[in-house]
Amino acid sequence: MSHLETAMGMTIAVFDKYAKAQGNTQTLTKAELKTLLEKELPNFLSAGKGQDALDRIFKDLDENGDSQVDFKEFVTFVAALTCCCHKYFGHKGAK
């Protein structure tokens, strides 16, 4: 598989791994999202580890207001975060 195909497969696998922890295997609960962020993006929450930060992230991700984060909402988050990293590291590399 190509690098991009591998990345896509890994994104699906990570989502599925944490979505399977409770109830609906097609969505993430707030608890599942918290575990995913703590394990897969440990530095992401380091600035705001409190429950308020998690609540804000979850609310922002839950676009349809169903109190769950589906795969499309998750991928949108990963893409936005990736864009921020690209911009940040792109500026660092240009200096």
What is the rounded distance in angstroms from the CA atom of residue 15 to the CA atom of residue 76?
Answer: 12
Q: Which helix (H) or strand (E) holds 55?
A: helix 51-61
pLDDT in tens, 30-59: 999 999 998 998 887 766 566 777 888 899
Per CATH, the architecture of 3-94 is what?
A: Orthogonal Bundle (1.10)
Reported pTM: 0.84
What are the domain boundaries of the chain?
Answer: 3-94
The yes-or-no verdict on residue 67 having pLDDT over 90 is yes
Count how many residues are written for the chain: 95
CA distances from 86 to 51, 90, 91 (A): 27, 6, 8
DSSP state of 23: S
